[in-house]
Amino acid sequence: MADFKLKEAMSIAANNGYKFTFIDLFAGLGGFHLAMRKLGGKCVFASELKPDLQELYKKNFGMECSGDITKIDIHKEIPKYFDILCAGFPCQPFSKSGKQQGFDDDQGRGNLFWVIMEILKVKKPEFILLENVQNLETHDGGNTWAIIKKKLETMYEVNWDVLSPHEFEIPQHRKRIYIVGRLLAMGGLKHFEFPSHRGNKECSIKKIIDENEKNYMHLRPQTRIQLKAWEHFLKLLKKNKIKIPSFPIWTMEWGATYDYEGKPPCQQSVNDFKGKKGEFGNIIVGDNIDDILPQLPIYSQVTITDPNEQFPDWKKNFIKWNREFYLDNKTVLDEWLPEIQQEGFENSHQKFEWNCGKDKNVKPTLKDKIIQFRPSGIRVKLPTYSPALVLTTTQIPIFPWIKTPEGEIGRYMTKKEAAKLQCMEELENVPNTISEAFKAFGNAVNVEVVRRIAENLLEIK
């Protein structure tokens, strides 16, 4: 039965001038579609929840894109025969940046894997190609992945690996788990191997930058003030021959003396804070814990109810190292500190992460680095590859060295540059606003990574 079904499916594709057929679930901007089309594939069904992305899919690929996959009649609406099921099923339930609820996700997204399984049971395509966040493997102590793998292996031989575009000289660091499978009834995966991606690959973010691009988001005046303050910080360190710390800089910890190594502050008594200093070395005052806690750095205000629980070791270390760094360089740092205590500097703007290594040839400046404003602080990295695209405009990477056509120095990454990072530059239609575009690109699969995997998968026939 399986042999007959494969022959019929392949003949349908061949008779229409295509090498194979596929369906594109949770399609988004159509990353799987672009990759499969490059290999000669024909999309015979697509599904995407968001109406705006459905419309873009139709414009870009000339086909209707169905809506909510949970409301699709699998038997009637999905074609009887197709060769590959592609799905970048929703990652929020498993992502470190989300609640990590997995199959218990309160919006039902974690249960969408079962929809995939139902389609596989009914349609029995020869191949599967799935994508998700790297954290899928370790979520819930590995139990989530164990369940997914066990279910898939009732029908398919399965293989998986974690790959990132930067491992293929595409300047974006974006680790994702890719899962492939082939029907056991068709002989399984045989000699399939994932494309080679080990070893150090050189990347340069400049290969995707268009300095003449006029459609870009300007840096706000306040952002420029914040960057200027941290640039001055680096100059002071260089002038005074102080090494840039490799740990995250938490300036609000400078001068603080409250206790943090035993009981967390929320479990301490009022007397424990007598004569102690809180955020930026300010004397702690107050007659109750509710008044005292807001005087501490925000990360030390957390509520911990377990009487045996302490701060995690990494947090203790960051507090300890920041206090030591301040005491060792107090005179220099006190000269600069008022610059980031002024109005407009939120907590995350008062934290700084230098992710440029210890190479002596790396200049202590922001002007030739990639800058990203994150909740954990202002992150600085070499102009090798971009951090993974994220869903919020506040975290779009900044290129401080670019001189814009209007004469400004420095701007955010553009929509076109984000498209290049996802190898989607051939898309003619993307969301109109930068905010919506980056959300869509942040959720998309990388076209070139998928293409290389699919190419190896199809070669095992």
Instruction: Output the 3-class SS for 73-121.
Output: CHHHHCCCCCCEEEECCCCCCCCCCCCCCHHHCCCCHHHHHHHHHHHHH
Cα-to-chain-centroid distance, residue 52: 22
> If you count DSSP H runs as helices and E runs as strands, how many of each does the chain have, helices first?
13, 12
| CATH 3.40.50.150 in the chain, residue ranges | 2-199+425-458
- DSSP 3-state assignment of 47? strand
Annotation says 86 is catalytic: no
Q: Where do runs of H (alpha helix) occur along 360-433?
A: 415-421
* CATH class of the structural domain 2-199+425-458: alpha beta
Q: Which residues contact 64 (CB under 8 A, 6 or more apart)?
A: 46, 58
The amino acid occupying position 118 is E
How many angstroms separate the CA atoms of 271 and 404, rounded?
A: 56
Degrees to nearest 5, angle at CA 254 with 252 and 258 = 85
The one catalytic residue in 43, 86, 91, 203 is: 91
Let me know: does 210 contact 417? Beta carbons within 8 Å: yes
Phi, psi of 97 (to 5 degrees): -80, -10
Residue closest to 157 by CA, chosen among 130, 131, 196, 187: 187
Name beta bridge partners: 165: none
- pLDDT tens, position by position, for the chain (461 residues)? 344 455 455 555 555 678 999 999 999 999 999 999 999 999 999 999 999 999 999 999 999 999 999 999 999 999 999 999 999 987 544 444 444 444 444 444 447 888 999 999 999 999 999 999 988 888 778 888 998 999 999 999 999 999 999 999 999 999 999 999 999 999 999 889 999 887 667 899 999 999 999 999 999 999 999 999 999 999 999 999 999 999 999 999 999 999 999 999 999 999 999 999 999 999 999 999 999 999 999 999 999 999 999 999 999 999 999 999 999 999 999 999 999 999 999 999 999 999 998 888 999 999 999 999 999 999 999 999 998 887 677 789 999 999 999 899 999 999 999 999 999 999 999 999 998 999 999 999 999 999 999 999 998 65
How many angstroms separate the CA atoms of 5 and 80, rounded?
A: 10
Let me know: does 114 contact 105? Beta carbons within 8 Å: no
Query: What distances in angstroms separate CA 405 from CA 58, 215, 367, 414, one per listed residue?
Result: 34, 10, 18, 14
How many angstroms separate the CA atoms of 185 and 124, rounded?
A: 10
- 427 burial (CB, 10 Å; 0-12 / 13-18 / 19+) is buried
Let me know: does 197 contact 168? Beta carbons within 8 Å: yes
